[in-house]
């Protein structure tokens, strides 16, 4: 469902309300008055391709490379420790 920004003309409280496009909001939950809610014009969110995140495969490869050294250190530590047989 879409989110809409509203402002109460009585108490000046701004809030985001999620509702269907055909629904009309006229009750302020802050000051408990009817007919005071005004829908505020919102700016849509656009994502440009220049700031788009990397592909999932590339991100995964970066995490694997970053954690290889940690894994090697954990393996070395595990080999040094002695364990009691169960």
pLDDT digits over 11-43, tens only? Answer: 999 999 999 988 989 999 999 999 999 999 877
Average pLDDT of 2-11? 91
Instruction: State the burial class of residue 33 (Cβ atoms within 10 Å of its Cβ: 0-12, 13-18, 19+).
Output: middle
* pLDDT for the residue numbered 38: 92
Pair 25, 13: CB distance under 8 Å: no
Residue 53 corresponds to which tokens in the numbers above?
């995140």
18, β-bridge pairs: 3
The C-alpha angle 20, 26, 27, rounded to 5 degrees, equals 110
Question: Cα separation of 3 and 46, whole Å?
Answer: 15
Tell whether the model's pLDDT for residue 62 goes beyond 80.
yes
Percent of all residues in the chain with a pLDDT value above 70, rounded to a whole number: 86
């Amino acid at each position: 469902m879409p989110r809409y920004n509203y402002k109460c003309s009585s108490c000046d409280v701004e809030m985001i309300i999620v509702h269907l496009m055909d629904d009309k909001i006229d009750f302020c939950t802050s000051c408990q008055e009817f007919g005071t809610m005004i829908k505020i014009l919102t700016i849509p969110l656009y994502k440009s391709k220049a700031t788009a995140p990397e592909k999932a495969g590339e991100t995964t490869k970066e995490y694997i490379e970053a954690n290889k050294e940690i894994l090697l250190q954990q393996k070395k530590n595990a080999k040094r420790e002695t364990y009691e047989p169960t």
